[in-house]
């Protein structure tokens, strides 16, 4: 199973193609659109979110609400295209001088991309933009629906924003608060402090990053493999997470704290119970050992840097004059941590779905369900 995306931030549309999806999998357009809506939410979002109302359009590969086994083609139209059609036009009449960027922004792909591809900065930032993640959320939502039908649950929460850390627990009351929170935080005191930090950042022309966690529940032992470096599940998850704009670090379970402890305080003792199979009495490994899921919940943490576009811009160098000037300002968010959490949940869903189909190859979803259930029965012997 694989996918490709294309499209620019201010282009006509975003497009995606999924190949290898089993036939007979139920796909809800409403669920995809809801995921896209969640990606656009959050107190720190900018003006672009008030323009776009993302909606998925199925072009092929889905009929009567079910996948056909053929490649699934998708579109998300950019409403802002109306304001950029002359600048982003494909023909020779494109206005290449309007909105031309000569002052690359520190922290963005602007300068490095322009040097690498020997092209206008506009061509770089249009594709490097996090607008691209809208299609990845749509694709992730489709496979997440299949995982849900297998009983796999993916959920996430924000651990910190701008240096304000939330107190995290694991009860249903906590997760209800996370779902109701505009910050995806389950700590009401921290949520208020984060809101105050956002106001300060906005007034100062600053931006905020944060810490996030994604959890995957009800995954059996044995997804991924230890036999080659590029088949390890944690390696694939890390690559997917770090491919999301502004992500600068990833860890599992205890993460970096594991380097501070003695071995006996890091590794998870193995248990066994008749009718339930093998388990761990703790989950410091974050559900992955030797590059494979071990049957415990997968716990993945990521760090998001503050968005590089600043309304009080940093110094840069003018591409032609080489003078030190202030960086350009593109319309941007002050903080997109809750939105990034939505993106991470869906890129994680893709990797898990890919690992499921690697272990249980199937052309039809009912065959996949049968193989999944048979393996689950084997694990509890």
- Asked if 169 contacts 186 with a C-beta cutoff of 8 angstroms, the reply is yes
Per-residue pLDDT tens digits for 44-63: 776 555 666 899 999 999 99
* Pair of tokens at residue 269: 């003792």
Rounded distance between C-alpha atoms, residue 209 and residue 269, angstroms: 35
Q: How many Cβ atoms from other residues are within 10 Å of residue 178's Cβ? A: 20
- pTM assigned to the model: 0.95
Q: How do strand 288-289 and strand 292-293 relate by DSSP bridges?
A: antiparallel
Contact 341, 211 (CB under 8 A): no
Going along the chain from its start, the domains and CATH numbers come out as 2-379 (3.60.150.10)
Please enumerate, as own/partner, the contacts of 321-329 that have beta carbons within 8 Å and a separation of 24 or more: 325/103, 326/103, 327/103, 327/104, 327/105, 327/106, 328/101, 328/102, 328/103, 328/104, 328/105
Residue 258: per-residue pLDDT: 96
Phi, psi of 180 (to 5 degrees): -85, -15
Please, which pLDDT band fits residue 368 given cuts at 50, 70 and 90? Answer: very high
Structure confidence by residue, pLDDT tens digits, 125-147: 999 999 999 999 999 999 999 99
């Amino acid at each position: 199973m694989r996918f490709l995306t294309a499209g620019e931030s201010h282009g006509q549309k975003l497009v995606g193609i999924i190949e290898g999806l089993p036939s007979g999998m139920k796909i809800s357009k409403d669920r995809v659109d809801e995921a896209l809506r969640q990606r656009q939410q959050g107190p720190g979002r900018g003006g672009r979110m008030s323009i776009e109302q993302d909606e998925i359009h199925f072009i092929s590969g889905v009929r009567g609400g079910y996948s056909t086994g053929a490649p699934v083609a998708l579109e998300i139209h950019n409403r802002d295209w109306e304001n950029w059609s002359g600048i982003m036009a494909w023909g020779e009449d494109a206005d290449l001088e309007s909105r031309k960027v000569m002052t690359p922004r520190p922290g963005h792909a602007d300068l490095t991309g322009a040097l690498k591809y020997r092209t206008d900065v506009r061509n770089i930032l249009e594709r490097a933009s996090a607008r691209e993640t809208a299609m990845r959320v749509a694709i992730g939502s489709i496979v997440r629906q299949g995982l849900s039908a297998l009983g796999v649950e993916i959920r996430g929460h924000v651990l910190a924003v701008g240096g304000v850390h939330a107190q995290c627990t694991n009860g249903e009351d906590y997760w209800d608060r996370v779902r109701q929170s505009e910050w995806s935080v389950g700590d009401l005191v921290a949520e208020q402090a984060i809101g105050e930090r956002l106001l300060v950042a906005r007034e100062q022309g600053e931006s905020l990053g944060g810490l996030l966690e994604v959890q995957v529940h009800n995954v059996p032992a044995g997804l991924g493999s230890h036999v080659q470096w590029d088949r390890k599940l944690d390696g694939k998850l890390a690559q997917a997470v770090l491919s999301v704009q502004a992500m600068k670090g990833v860890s599992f379970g205890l993460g970096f704290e594991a380097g501070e402890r003695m071995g006996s305080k890091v590794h998870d003792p193995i248990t066994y119970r008749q009718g339930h199979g093998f388990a761990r009495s703790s989950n410091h490994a974050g559900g992955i050992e030797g590059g494979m899921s071990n049957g415990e919940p997968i716990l993945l943490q990521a760090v998001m840097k503050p968005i590089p576009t600043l309304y009080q811009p940093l110094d840069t160098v003018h591409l032609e004059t080489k003078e030190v000037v202030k960086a350009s300002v593109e319309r941007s968010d002050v903080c997109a941590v809750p939105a990034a959490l939505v993106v991470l949940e869906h890129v994680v869903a893709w990797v898990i779905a890919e690992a499921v189909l690697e272990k249980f190859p199937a052309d039809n979803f009912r065959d996949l369900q049968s193989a999944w259930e048979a393996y689950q029965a084997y694990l509890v012997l």
